[in-house]
Structure 1
Amino acid sequence: MSLRLSTVILPYRRWHEGSRETWRRAEQLGFHTAYTYDHLSWRSFRDGPWFGALPTLTAAAAVTDQLRLGTLVTSPNFRHPVTLAKELISLDDISGGRVTLGIGAGGTGFDATALGQEPWTPRERADRFTEFVPLLDQLLSEDTVSFEGDFYSAHEARNIPGCVQRPRLPFAVAATGPRGLRLAARHGQAWVTTGDPKLYEEGTPEQSVQAIRGQIEKLGDACASIGRDAGAMDKILLTGFTPDRARPLESLAAFVDFAGRHRELGFTELVIHWPIPDSDFAADEKVFEQIATEATSQLQ
């Protein structure tokens, strides 16, 4: 099974002060997709510069030609399906059909309270996500949509001419719980995981592999319940959140070993963070570029 290599570029730099060149370089290095985080602010970057995901991706679309672009991940925390659909259709048009929407239920970080609301419980996030994804699917696939749900409404929302990609741009659904996995099975062209967060601090790489194997088995069950072949579904691992943390980026050999073990689980795409000095994503840029240009050929 072939394995694609992608990157995620955090939107923490001004466009004309290095960010533009980073997106261009991602295409030059041959990455399959360059994603960015869709947050209002994030963790240790909260008190520094941080720019919007969709405007950043629009600018990236204008300075690249082949590179796919996407979010990892968009969530209902501060998005509404009607306005999000309009922006995604516009981005898909500007990019010439190169957009993938990574989408998840969201968490309890800064996004969860920035609009003045109390953070939703895991159950409340799952309730909203269960309504959000099908409505967004419909909005991106049909010219006119009306809908009245418990959390979201649409009244004759028009999205003409629709996506360049048909019937709509692809969804990469981040999920590990039962309801999220059912959404991934029904609406996702891909499934996304970061591994098991409970193992991040004290787990081992072996335990992480076992936990991810369990997630993939549950995805298979969710797909089987609707008659879908999970084996034909793309599976994406956003790296940097397993117990190995930064080790895969320490050398080409270390990354090839890490990638090989996860390819055996069924992953079709690995996403590595673009190096950010003095952060959790610090890495040797020369090693990073060597991985980008040589790793996939060593995994054939």
Structure 2
Amino acid sequence: MRLSTLILPILRWHSGGRARWQRAEELGFSTAYTYDHLSWRTFRDGPWFGALPTLTAAAAATDRLRLGTLVTSPNFRHPVTLAKELITLDDVSGGRMTLGIGAGGSGFDATALGQQPWPVRERTERFGEFVPLLDTLLTQDTTSYAGTYYAAHEVRTIPGCVQRPRLPFAVAATGPRGMRLAARYGQAWVTTGDPRTSATGTAADSLAAVRTQVDRLAEAGAAVGRDTAAMEKVLLAGFTPDRPLDSLDAFVDFAGRHAALGFTEIVLHWPVPDSVFAADERVFERIAVEAPAQLAG
């Protein structure tokens, strides 16, 4: 079981931002992710910096820590320009980049470029084009493609990623088509749990719902000819009824129950005071330092 963190891009780089990413490395986190949004929910009217420039700066400020988005989506990204930026970031980081990728939603990002939010069906169809095209762009030198939503004309992506054949995809998905994309293209699958249990369900309800998601991933894998039992499975914590940051024991119990379902990585939000991610930072750091050994034991 790996333990990672998610750092919201809300701090100025020279006023705490750089120090936070460096502290994540000091604490031994496997990966430090950030959201790839233009703004997010209750943080909309405060500072919010771009994900890929932030990760590039973090790559230069750290040596061992893996870095990633959790998640990037088609809401305001195009596969061609995204591929070029990812290749650059993978190069700057020395091959430490993971792309978390999802279909996106109907939040602030969905209308920022002036369009109406895409219906669910269109988001799903776009995601179905976006992921394979991005995979192609990152694994071959020249790409031409004409699809329903995206196109690429003689696009050069030389020299490609440091990681071969490309940087890993961690695909966030819960629906059938997204699960099949995860099984076909993902080195990892990501979930936040089942939103139907987050508000009114219990921890047991959430665990049962997540178990069902894992089973559906296995079915999706079978449909594309892949055994997903050994596939990396990532849980972004903070959206289930559990309270894993209450104490070290609470986290170890939470992580252990999900490890039994096959999860290989838990991602904890770095505490943000006076927000939905508020938590005792001393407990958070104790979990980072002590929990991996307990889980290994």
TM surpasses 0.5: yes
State whether structure 2 residue 203 is matched by structure 1 residue 199. Answer: no
Report the AA paired with residue 89 of structure 2: L
Letter in 2 for 1:85: A
* Matches of 1:54 and 1:218, distance apart in 2: 32
Alignment-derived partner of residue 279 in structure 2: 283
- In the comparison of the two structures, how many residue pairs are matched? 296
Shift of 1:121: 1.3
User: 2:258 matched to which residue of 1?
Assistant: 262
Which residue number in structure 1 is paired with residue 14 of structure 2?
16
Q: Which moved more, 1:220-229 or 1:171-180?
A: 220-229
Q: Which residue of 1 aligns with 2:218?
A: 220
SS at match of 1:118: coil
Establish whether residue 296 from structure 1 lines up as the match of residue 292 from structure 2.
yes
| Percent of paired sites with the same residue | 74
2:248 paired with 1:252: yes
Q: Deviations over 1:252-290 (max 9, x none)?
A: 000001011000010000000001111111111110000
> Separation in 2 of the partners of 1:227 and 1:150?
26
Structure 1 position 226, deviation (Å): 2.2
Deviations 1:144-174 (A, max 9, x none): 0000000000000000000000000000000
* Per-residue CA distance 1:72-131 (angstroms, 9 max, x = gap): 000000000000000000000000000000000001110000000000111111010000
TM-score (norm 1): 0.98
Q: Residue type matched to 2:93 in 1? A: S
Return the match for 1:38 from 20, 36, 39: 36
Deviations 1:218-244 (A, max 9, x none): 100111122211111100000000112
Partners of 2:114 and 2:224 lie apart in 1 by 39
The aligned residue for residue 3 of structure 2 is 5
Over the aligned positions, Cα root-mean-square deviation in angstroms equals 0.5
Aligned with 1:34: secondary structure? strand
2:268 to 268, 272, 279: 272
| Of 222, 234, 237, the match for 1:236 | 234
- Secondary structure in structure 1 of the residue aligned to 2:217: helix
**Runs of 4+ in structure 1 over 3 Å off:** none
Structure 2 equivalent of residue 66 of structure 1: 64
